């Protein structure tokens, strides 16, 4: 490409010299009268600026396809980073947003069909536990480019390595940590309770159908598991024994399930069992529900949007009562 451009410039330069030569050989017309003296010098002829040579970007024409967890905290930044990446490299990133519950089926279908499918995906690292044989080990690249891992959370380091029983090997790069605490409306709940009994009392006080309800929560089966975890873990048992035997099928497991059922039956809006995270986040931000249990990103999206936020700054974040906790994970590439 550079050689072609150089040749073109040489031709233009040669042609211009020919025209200059022709001008020099022409004789001036005979002058009958003496010309008046020239008082001013002719303005210098400005040389025509050469057009800058546009260098082709290294990965011009390359297209990468990425699947992104819809509604996740990274969705908006990824679109911004894709534009920056294109400007620097020439490689285009094609983004497809997919609901969380559809990510695994789409990934597995693509792998089983032998298609190129997706080059990258962005969601929870747990998906790598299933399809790690189809993923690229990233340790060599982390070392080669001296990738900074100093700010990684311990949980992201611990549970992102050793997938597939391959020690010290990781297939994902964590981008953000996500947790599922309790958000509450400080106008409706000035003092947050520390016990489950007190928690249900404030939910009851703020449940006055159809104008208001105590709790906003994603009721679809794939999401309510974290509300069960919060109640079960507050009772003192882990999910599994050290030799991987489940403990939820015991008295505490039954009690936690009854606690959750009572809360959903009595303090949530009709149809909540069909809600996903964005539905619950919107119901808290618009003032319909006094509390929200779930992922932070899904409710902050609405609280940070003036068009959606009807409660202003009247909200706070707290842990579940009696030491309960929602699950924590990260969103990774």
For 76, list phi and psi in degrees, rounded to 5: -65, -45
d(CA 217, CA 185): 14
Which range scores top for mean pLDDT: 51-65, 84-98, 307-321?
A: 307-321
Q: Is the pLDDT of residue 1 over 70?
A: no
Side by side, the strands of the sheet bearing 92-98 are 92-98, 63-69, 120-122
* Domain 63-172 identical in fold to domain 182-327: yes
Residue by residue, DSSP assigns 59-113 as TTT-EEEEEEETT-TTHHHHHHHHHHHHHHH--EEEEEEE-HHHHHHHHHHHHHT
Query: Domains of the chain: which residue ranges?
Result: 63-172, 182-327
Cβ atoms of 328 and 178 closer than 8 Å: yes
Residue 231 CA from chain centroid, whole number: 29
The model's pTM: 0.72
Q: Is the pLDDT of residue 118 over 50?
A: yes
The correct CATH number of 182-327 out of 3.10.20.600, 3.40.190.10, 3.40.30.10, 3.40.50.300 is 3.40.190.10
* Segment 205-234 mean pLDDT: 93
Say what the pLDDT of residue 210 is. 94
Cβ atoms of 217 and 224 closer than 8 Å: yes
Q: Is the pLDDT of residue 130 over 90?
A: no
Cβ atoms of 100 and 222 closer than 8 Å: yes
> pLDDT tens digits for 2-34?
333 333 223 232 323 322 333 333 333 444 445
Cβ atoms of 182 and 164 closer than 8 Å: no
Please state which CATH class domain 63-172 belongs to: alpha beta
Say what the pLDDT of residue 163 is. 84
Exposed, middle or buried: residue 49 (CB in 10 Å: 0-12, 13-18, 19+)? exposed
Residue 263 CA from chain centroid, whole number: 31
* Segment 276-288 mean pLDDT: 94
């Amino acid at each position: 490409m550079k050689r072609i451009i150089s040749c073109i410039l040489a031709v233009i330069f040669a042609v211009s010299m020919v025209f200059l030569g022709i001008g020099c050989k022409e004789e001036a017309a005979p002058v009958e009268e003496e010309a008046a003296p020239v008082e001013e010098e002719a303005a210098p002829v400005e040389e025509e600026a050469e057009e800058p040579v546009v260098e082709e970007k290294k990965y011009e024409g390359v297209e990468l396809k990425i699947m992104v967890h819809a509604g996740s905290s990274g969705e908006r930044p990824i679109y911004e980073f894709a534009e920056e990446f294109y400007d620097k490299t020439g490689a285009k990133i094609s983004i497809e947003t997919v609901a969380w519950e559809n990510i695994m089926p789409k990934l597995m279908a693509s792998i089983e069909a032998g298609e190129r499918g997706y080059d990258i995906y962005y969601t929870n690292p747990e998906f790598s536990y299933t399809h790690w044989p189809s993923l690229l080990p990233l340790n060599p690249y982390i070392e080669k480019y001296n990738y900074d891992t100093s700010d990684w959370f311990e949980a992201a380091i611990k549970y992102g390595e050793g997938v597939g029983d391959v020690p010290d090997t990781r297939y994902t790069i964590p981008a953000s940590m996500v947790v599922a605490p309790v958000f509450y409306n400080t106008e409706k709940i000035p003092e947050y309770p520390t016990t489950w009994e007190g928690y249900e009392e404030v939910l009851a006080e703020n449940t006055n159908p159809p104008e208001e309800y105590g709790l906003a929560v994603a009721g679809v089966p794939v999401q309510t598991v974290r509300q069960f975890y919060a109640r079960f873990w507050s009772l003192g048992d882990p999910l599994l024994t050290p030799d991987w035997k489940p403990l939820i099928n015991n008295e505490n497991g039954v009690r936690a399930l009854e606690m959750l059922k009572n809360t959903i039956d009595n303090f949530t809006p009709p149809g909540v069992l069909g809600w996903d995270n964005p539905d619950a986040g919107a119901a808290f931000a618009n003032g319909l529900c006094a509390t929200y249990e779930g992922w932070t990103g899904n409710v902050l999206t609405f609280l940070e949007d003036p068009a959606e936020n009807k409660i202003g700054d009247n909200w706070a974040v707290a842990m579940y009562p009696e030491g309960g906790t929602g699950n924590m994970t990260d969103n990774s590439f």
